[in-house]
Structure 1
Amino acid sequence: MMKPLSSFRQNAFNLSHTPSDVERTAVTDGIKTNVSFPVRPAFPFSSLVLSGNMSADNEACLLLEAQVYRGGEWSGFYKLGLLSAQFKRSFPPQEDTFGRVETDELCLSAPAEAYRFRLKSSGEVSLNGLWACGVRAPFAYDVKSASRLPSGTFCAAVEPVSQMEQKHPDKRRICSPVSVSMALNALGCQTRLGSFLQDVFDQSAAVYGNWTFNTAAAGMRGVQSFVRRFSSLEELKDFVTPESFAVASISYGRGQLDGAPMESTAGHLVLVRGWEKRKVLVADPAAATKETVLRAYDARQFADAWLLNKKGVAYIVRKK
């Protein structure tokens, strides 16, 4: 069951899966297992991320797994996240000749040609959406086309929140849930930051920034949320709207993002709320106060920080 992709050359694929993509189903000792048909993107890929939205009772859980195909051989299945209403857990390092799992992302040692997903569930679980995204191999970046903004201007209203003002022992590490909670509240899904922090916490890796877990926790609050890869700022026109936000993962060195509250970062999340006059409008939770959270970054610098340095990874948070 192959999914068509846009003919426009991009550095990523983004696929949405449905029940028709499942090849076989089995139930053993109360565990339901769904295995998909092989999925072949339009180009070889060097990484893979799965994200899912689900509804579940307190005792239910869902395990996301994937395997990849290259050179006539399938890898084993990698565990990419265990989801439940009560907890979310990644797994100890998984590494073999095909690649390794880095908390929430399968990073391949050589490009793969196809993948399968496998879902194992126990209890009452309703899967409301499953998405896969990956990075093209080889990756090619052209800053001129990547930094082209949508036409016109757009700016969504966002109530700013500074992570630095929170009374939390790990306040410097909670940019991800703070950004997502700002998006949820802007969409009318009233969300207390404290409870959202608990819901996204990866108990195995002891981090708040697990991509799969942030989108899953948002999805449990009545929105559609998933991990997506962008190739150009122009794509924002379809995902930053009155009913949708993108939360971008960025990385930059000293002097590479003018006006940012941190001099440099190896990884940080910001809420994209619009664009105007060669600027990307964001809510940056690393600001010292909520009054300085709303900022405008140069489009070229932001494209480098996001689309080049972090291969365009983002959370989409939007109304169903």
Structure 2
Amino acid sequence: MTSSAPRRTVLAAALAAAAGAAAPLAAAAGEPGRRPAPPAPAATPRSKRPVDYHAWTTAADWRQGTGHGTRVVSGPRPGIGLARPAGTTDYRDPHTGKTATWEYATWTSPAHRLPVPATEAVASWNAHTPAGTWIAVELRGTYSDGGHTPWYVMGRWTAGDGETDIRRTSVDDQKDGRSAVSTDTFAVDDPSSGLRLAAYELRLTLYRRPGSTDTPTVWRVGAMASDLPDRFEVPASPPGLVGRELRVPRYSQEIHKGQYPQYDNGGEAWCSPTSSQMIIEHWGRRPTPQQLSWVDPSYADPQVCHAARYTFDYQYNGCGNWPFNAAYAATYHDLQGIVTRLSSLTDVEHLVHAGIPVITSQSFLKTELDGAGYGTAGHLMTVIGFTKTGDVIANDPASPDDPAVRRVYKRRQFENIWLRTKRHDDKGQVKSGSGGVCYLYFPTKPAPTQHRVLAELGIR
């Protein structure tokens, strides 16, 4: 029932020292509750927020970058495509052992200066990668003392896993003695030194087979950067926009136990793709029968197996790579997916009230979340609503069967296990928490209310 979160414990030392230097963390639907609505998330000036999400998504955005062999793809969903190769390179796939030659082109974003210098960053992207194409996403940071990081690979990604495809992968052992990347997360090694990430650039490299006219197309690339304090307890948010529950399919990861163990040991570890699939289907998208034809027909909910296969990170050997899940969601028609952090359940209330469910990442002991019946070093679940008293209604995939997936968890307990950056495990040892990490999936053309709520959170 765990996700990939345990591999992020290497970041615990970085978070542990942050307290002194970091800024404080400033539709089966019932009717919305009658409590007065809390202030919208925008009440905190963006320049003061410890979390900054920034992305490049429009034709104007893409033209601001520097391309070598790329072109701006026009249309309702502008992007960057490969126009002509800037060169060729050989890539040895560490997971297949095969070496192949690829044409490539690059696009580099302008430098994005952070309103609040950060200790961590997570990139995410949305792209179309036909068979025989792939992309690499890299981040290069500027430190607060003026130095620079190397170009860190934040992911090598393709939607498929056929004979002409590479295997999507994170890259281990990336560090410069001042910062490092753990699977999908960039982190400053020692925040207590005062060192921060002051700005960053993102670089896209688009690859295809030599002589091919196919091209990957990247529609969105961005990053969430944050500077969160070291804390075991977070302030409680008062209930506000409560009493609404969204219609979201219920899928259990546990019924897939033992299925396709080559993907993260089977269903027991599939909380992330199971949560992703629930929200993808909330938006009316799902795999076609042809796409599911590889799944054993005796298995229930074959789309969960499909999600596990196509979010799988071959280096991490798991399905819990955060941006890989967001990228998978965006392979469905007119859906977008991002990874960010939120500051409280008030943010989630505004999103749910607008019709956008939220996938949250949390770690907890069995005694810290009443009704869960388990403890976990890392787990993804989906917030689909709030009771009239403000408690959290969650689709929890760590349930024995699909009908049992809907749970109600105490607001205070849920908010704390999700937002804290430090916790104690069952041996009393200090471990890291996710600090409010979430996945947000939403249409390319959100409804006006959804657009407004997203914009209040700095997401466009």
TM-score, structure 2 as length reference: 0.65
Matches within 5 A, 1:249-260: 249-260=361-372
Aligned counterpart for 1:208 among listed residues 319, 338, 342: 319
| 8 Å CA contact retained: 1:45, 1:113 | yes
- Aligned residue pairs, count: 314
Say which SS state the counterpart of residue 323 (structure 2) adopts.
helix
Distance 1:23-1:183 versus aligned 2 partners, 3 A rule: closer
Q: Deviations over 1:121-178 (max 9, x none)?
A: 1231211112210222545787335x33442321011221111111424222110000
Please tell me whether the aligned partners of residues 68 and 113 of structure 1 are also in contact (alpha carbons under 8 angstroms).
yes
Specify the code of the residue in structure 1 equivalent to 2:398. Answer: A
Q: Secondary structure of 1:310's match? A: coil
- Partner-residue secondary structure (3-state), 1:251: strand
**Which residue is equivalent to 2:246?**
156
Code of the residue aligned with 1:7 in structure 2: it is P
Q: For residues 228 and 110 of structure 2, what CA distance do their matches in structure 1 show?
A: 22
**Separation in 1, partners of 2:307, 2:109:** 31
What displacement does 1:241 show?
4.8
In structure 1, which of residues 126, 129, 132 is the aligned counterpart of residue 220 of structure 2?
129
Is residue 152 of structure 2 the alignment partner of residue 73 of structure 1? no
Q: For residues 160 and 23 of structure 1, do their structure 2 counterparts lie closer, same or farther at Cα, with a shift above 3 Å needed?
A: closer
Instruction: Write the distance in 1 (CA, Å) between the matches of 2:352 and 2:238.
Output: 15
Question: Identity rate of aligned residues, in percent?
Answer: 26
Shift of 1:244: 2.4
Structure 1 residues 92-171: aligned runs within 5 Å? 92-109=172-189, 110=191, 111-123=196-208, 124-138=215-229, 143-145=234-236, 147-167=237-257, 168=259, 169=261, 170-171=266-267
Question: Which amino acid in structure 2 is aligned with residue 56 of structure 1?
Answer: T
Deviation digits for residues 55-92 of structure 1 (CA, Å, limit 9, x no counterpart)? 12111111110011110111111000011122421112
- Aligned residue runs from structure 1 range 1-320, under 5 A: 7=45, 9-18=48-57, 20=61, 22-27=64-69, 28-29=86-87, 30-70=103-143, 71-86=145-160, 87-109=167-189, 110=191, 111-123=196-208, 124-138=215-229, 143-145=234-236, 147-167=237-257, 168=259, 169=261, 170-191=266-287, 192-222=303-333, 223-241=335-353, 243-262=355-374, 264-276=375-387, 277-308=389-420, 309-320=433-444
Q: Which amino acid aligns with 1:173?
A: A
Amino acid at match of 1:61: W
Cα pair 1:224 1:319 within 8 Å, conserved: yes
Secondary structure in structure 1 of the residue aligned to 2:347: helix
List per-residue Cα deviations over 1:274-305 (Å, max 9, x = no partner): 11213111000001222221011111111111
Counterpart CA distance in 1 for 2:245 and 2:327 is 26
SS of 1:315's equivalent in the other structure is: strand
Counterparts of 1:105 and 1:162, CA distance in 2 = 27
How far apart are the structure 1 equivalents of 2:281 and 2:332? 11
Mark the CA change 1:135 to 1:17 in structure 2 (over 3 Å): closer, same or farther: same
Give unmatched runs, 5+ long, in structure 1: none
SS of the residue 1:267 aligns to: strand
Q: Structure 1 residues 154, 141: CA separation in 2 closer, same or farther (over 3 Å shift)?
A: farther
- 5+ long unaligned stretches in structure 2: 1-41, 70-85, 88-102, 161-166, 209-214, 288-302, 421-432, 445-460
User: Could you tell me whether the CA contact under 8 Å between 2:242 and 2:390 is conserved in 1?
Assistant: no
2:79 corresponding residue in structure 1: none
Q: Once superposed, which parts of structure 1, at least 4 consecutive aligned residues long, lie more than 6 Å away?
A: none
Q: CA RMSD in A?
A: 2.0
Query: Secondary structure of the equivalent of 2:382?
Result: strand
CA deviation after TM superposition for structure 1 residue 243, in Å = 4.5
